[in-house]
Amino acid sequence: MTNRTKASAFSSLVVVLALAGLSKPAQATQWDKKTIMTVNEPIEVPNLVLEPGTYVFKLLDDQGDRHVVQIFDKDEKHLLTTILAIPNYRLTPTGKTDFAFWETPAGQPRALRAWFYPGDNFGQEFAYPKTTIAKIATNNSNATVPEATETVAETTTAATPAPMPAAEPQPEPAPAPQVVASAEPAPAPPTDQTPAPQQLPQTASDFPLIALVGFGSLIAFAVLTVRSKRSA
């Protein structure tokens, strides 16, 4: 291989790598099918009416289900609604975004039927609740409108603040100790019988008493003798 051939092969490789690097943003946009839609009249999507303005349609970044459609406002700061769509196929893809609509009674906003991304032969078809299906059926005879069986998310415009954590209950103070006084024994009930006094034990002998009586008798005898002599 000559040097010129090597240089040419190297240049080709650089061009291929450069093109591969430039194609990454396009692949990212193609993955979520981001589409900007501007309407000058109200249109209806499942569970929401879009007023005139600009909106951004995207597929939810989910590997498992590629039929969850999210609709944002123009700046993509607020998620307006999330819709669970069903597959819709077409035979001939086009190079532009296609939106198909159902005809509705006069004075009612047109209902969005399907959304096809440029170059795709498959798209997203929108299912509606029974009340909307009845309205669509009056202007679309013999048409089969898919009925919504599941709601992915409700319409939202702002994030709901998280609830404040509940304050932990304070422990109750321990009850003060109670002092219980011991009950005094109740006095014994009175009885009808009075106990007899106990007799003290006898400790002295009777001999001094006998001597005293005898001595008194002698004195009395002497006194009587003296009186008798005086009276003689």
Give the burial class of 130: count Cβ atoms within 10 A of its Cβ; 0-12 exposed, 13-18 middle, 19 or more buried.
Answer: exposed
Average pLDDT over every residue of 26-54: 87
Higher-pLDDT residue of 130, 226: 130
Q: Does 165 fall in a domain?
A: no
Plot region of 124 (φ>0 → left; ψ -120 to 50 → alpha; else → beta): beta
- Residue 88 inside a domain? The answer is yes
Q: Which comes out higher in pLDDT, residue 64 or 56?
A: 56
Measure Cα distances from 179 to 176, 182, 221 in Å.
Answer: 10, 9, 82
* Count of domains observed in the chain: 1
How many whole angstroms separate alpha carbon 126 and alpha carbon 184?
92
pLDDT surpassing 60 at residue 117: yes
Please report the pLDDT score of residue 154 as a whole number. 47
On whether residue 70 sits in a domain, the answer given is: yes
Most trustworthy range by pLDDT among 24-28, 145-149, 152-156, 172-176: 145-149
Domain presence at residue 223: no
Strand runs labelled E in 17-133: 35-39, 43-45, 48-50, 53-59, 68-73, 79-84, 86-89, 98-102, 110-116, 122-125
On whether residue 92 sits in a domain, the answer given is yes
User: Looking at the domain assignment, is residue 183 inside a domain?
Assistant: no
pLDDT reading at 105 higher than 70:
yes
Of residues 111 and 167, which shows the higher confidence score? 111
Mean pLDDT (the chain, rounded):
73
Q: Which residues of 152-182 are buried (b: 16+ CB within 10 A; e: fewer)?
A: eeeeeeeeeeeeeeeeeeeeeeeeeeeeeee
- pTM value is 0.53
pLDDT number for residue 159: 39
Q: Residue 87: which domain range?
A: 25-137
Rounded-to-integer distance, Cα 14 and Cα 3, Å: 17
Rounded distance between C-alpha atoms, residue 208 and residue 205, angstroms? 7
| Tokens describing residue 17 | 């790598």
Tens digit of each residue's pLDDT (9 = 90 or more) over 3-19: 554 444 444 443 333 33
Q: What is the percentage of the chain residues whose pLDDT exceeds 90?
A: 32
Does 142 reside within a domain?
A: no
131 within some domain: yes
Indicate the pLDDT class of residue 195, thresholds 50, 70 and 90.
low
> Residue 83 above 60 pLDDT?
yes
Q: Place 137 in a pLDDT band, splitting at 50, 70 and 90.
A: confident
**Predicted local confidence at residue 151, as pLDDT:** 54
Q: Is the pLDDT of residue 58 over 70?
A: yes
